[in-house]
Amino acid sequence: MTTDLNDSAAVLETRLAHDVHRVATTLLAEAADRPAVPLRALAQLRDFLVVNLRHHHETEDHDLWPQILSAAPDAAQGLDALTDEHHELDEALDRLAAVAVTDGPGSDEAIRSELHAAADAVRDVVHRHLDHEEPILFPALRAHISPAAWTDFAQRVIATTPPVAGHLMIGFLDEVGTSAEVQLVLKGLPEPVHPLLPAMRSQAVEDLRVLRDGS
């Protein structure tokens, strides 16, 4: 799905992040069922998803939701329902994070089966939750979050995002967005990161290829 560059930066960037979550959760569920995909590649994508999904919804619950509610108290019921779904997501993420995806003792087939089941559950929760969230959140972002407020929020999100397989975010953004959309998102990265983007893109292309095709 592509976005409208004439829409607010808040909606554009949020929709791209959501599309990354859709694609990434689907990929993990599918890749876990492919014996040719190395466990190390599955572990990297799993770790990326767990930290990024947690961080995304925590910044919504503790930062973005209060900003919206301060301007529109009548949005409380809808946002509370979304927070309840975040708790459901946390339970699914706990199960996914607990899978011991290692090359050590244990059955490779059993590990993949456990990971596949946990990844399926996360994918289903994420897709359902985003379908519920976007009709509530996008109008609220347009109506109640100013460009300046969004810039401040986005910078806090970037500054606090755990540095776990960050190159995968670049790769997924390139897949779900147009070049203009991705450029808009990436311009908010800290200046020292910009020279690293070509190498991050190259690594992401290779790692995503392995996840889809095997080693």
Contacts of 8 (CB under 8 A, 6+ apart): 141, 142, 145, 147, 150
Chain segment 164-183, per-residue pLDDT in tens: 999 999 999 999 999 999 99
Instruction: Tell me which amino acid residue 166 is.
Output: G
Query: pTM to 2 decimals?
Result: 0.91
Chain segment 58-102, per-residue pLDDT in tens: 998 889 989 988 888 888 778 788 888 888 889 999 999 999 887
User: What torsion, rounded to 10 degrees, do the Cα atoms 51, 53, 58, 64 define?
Assistant: 130
**Residue 138: exposed, middle, or buried by beta-carbon count in 10 A (0-12, 13-18, 19+)?**
middle
